[in-house]
Amino acid sequence: MPILMRSFFLAAAVAVGVCSGALATSSVAFEAQGYLLDIVVGDNGKPVVASLSMVTPGSTRGIDIPLQYLKVDAFDTAQQVLLLRFTNPGDSKLPKDFSLTVRRDAGVLQMDGKRLAGRFSWGM
């Protein structure tokens, strides 16, 4: 993915994160088989997902994931563990339901009956 496009997604995500009430402090990312999940991390006394965008294989544009449909089961930056689930409310413009499980620098994106192993960058 071109650096310029990643920079654009990061800038957009930071703007959303600042507006959501959490102070955006850094960005973490997951990549696997053409998928990119870019997560802006906010801080409300503990790390929180301030925004999330997804780029799908073959796409040049990211999809902003509405946080009201996102459930974060675990987010521990010290132990480097992240477990989150997105449930599509029936909107065809959004991705299908997915979950992301991360331990250290390895992650698994489960979507549409597939398990996609990839790498995770804590970048914090």
Cβ atoms of 102 and 123 within 8 Å: the answer is no
- Virtual CA dihedral for 47, 49, 35, 123, nearest 10 degrees? -30
Cβ atoms of 110 and 99 within 8 Å: the answer is yes
Instruction: State how far the Cα of 20 lies from the Cα of 102, in Å rounded to an integer.
Output: 24
pLDDT score recorded for residue 44 = 78
pLDDT score recorded for residue 24 = 53
* Mean pLDDT in order along the chain per 10 residues (124 residues): 48 46 74 95 88 93 96 94 97 96 97 96 82
Q: Where are the domains of the chain?
A: 3-121
Q: Which pair of structure tokens corresponds to residue 100? A: 């992301």
pLDDT score recorded for residue 43 = 83
Q: Is the dihedral of CA 6, 17, 22, 103 positive or negative?
A: negative
pLDDT score recorded for residue 69 = 98
